[in-house]
Amino acid sequence: MEKVRIRVSLNERYGVVAGLVSRLSIATVCEGALCPNIMECWGGGVATFMIMGDVCTRGCRFCYVRKGRPQPLDPMEPLKVAEAVRILGLDYVTITSVDRDDLPDGGARHFAETIRAVKMLNPSVKVEVLIPDFRGDETAIRAVVEAGPDVLAHNIETVRRLTPIVRDWRAGYDQSLKVLRVAKELNPSLVTKSSILLGLGETFEEVVEAMEDLRGAGVDILVLSQYLRPSLKQLPVAKMYSLEEFKVLEEIAYKIGFSYVVAHPLARTSYKAKEAYMEAVRRLRGS
């Protein structure tokens, strides 16, 4: 079995990103979720900003992000993120968040304000958002879509059977599919994206079924990655997939009809986001 290697890049660029994130008191999913690609991405001047704080209202059993009662929203956060994008000179930015079930709209308006602020200060930047499910509220989904993101991502995380075990009770397999389907219906030219964590106890057939469900909801970009247990508090790993198995699933995903597939043990939703977007757009225009 081929070994998986992590590339570490402790260069000057990494220090600039880390310093800026600290100075502006901006949370990143890179740190909050213990992403294995943080050295590579920050070393390349790329970061995924996590808005609305770093405390989640949900208790998904695979996630390392802190749970509890979040602080009130920072009204200046959209401008802080926009300024960080400007200082770093980014041309592609990913914005995600914790779940905020304590807010009437789940934080949709804050997402929209952040998208608009980033694009106003950085007119040429491409913005990808990785959003919560907003409890399936179509008004909240519309608010984000109408703000003009270039890519809208929402993760189903796992297969249908395991969803009640892996995710918080307020989440739902069909609810997540609805988010992606509604976003596509609201703006058919919007690139949509989702991710499946492998190794939580799913069968091969269930993974294929989940991929077909996502494509049925109009999803353009699929990310397949290995679940890695962050600590003893999270679910144990049921299976470690080989690179060969990832390759097989990647080939099936393309046959199902996805425009772009990222399939690798260390892949995460925002990993290689710019490359995925550009290739997906190229193939969508070609078809």
- 266-281 pLDDT, tens per residue? 887 766 777 888 888 8
What pLDDT shows up at residue 22?
59
Confidence of residue 15 (pLDDT cuts 50, 70, 90): low
Confidence of residue 182 (pLDDT cuts 50, 70, 90): very high
Give me the domain span that covers residue 73: 12-286
Q: What is the mean pLDDT of residues 42-64?
A: 81
User: Residue 134 contacts by C-beta under 8 Å, 6 or more apart in sequence?
Assistant: 105, 106, 107, 108, 140, 141, 179
Structural domain contains residue 7: no
Give φ, ψ of 31 to 5 degrees: -85, -45
Q: What is the mean pLDDT of residues 182-209?
A: 97
Number of structural domains in the chain:
1
What pLDDT shows up at residue 18?
56
Closest among 87, 90, 110 to 100, alpha carbons compared:
110
Query: What's the whole-number average pLDDT of the chain?
Result: 87
User: Is the pLDDT reported for residue 16 higher than 90?
Assistant: no
User: Is the pLDDT reported for residue 35 higher than 70?
Assistant: no
In CATH, what number is assigned to the domain containing residue 127? 3.20.20.70
Structural domain contains residue 2: no
Confidence of residue 42 (pLDDT cuts 50, 70, 90): very low
Structural domain contains residue 5: no
Structural domain contains residue 3: no
Structural domain contains residue 137: yes
User: Residue 175 contacts by C-beta under 8 Å, 6 or more apart in sequence?
Assistant: 133, 135, 136
Structural domain contains residue 251: yes
User: Is the pLDDT reported for residue 1 higher than 50?
Assistant: no
Structural domain contains residue 4: no
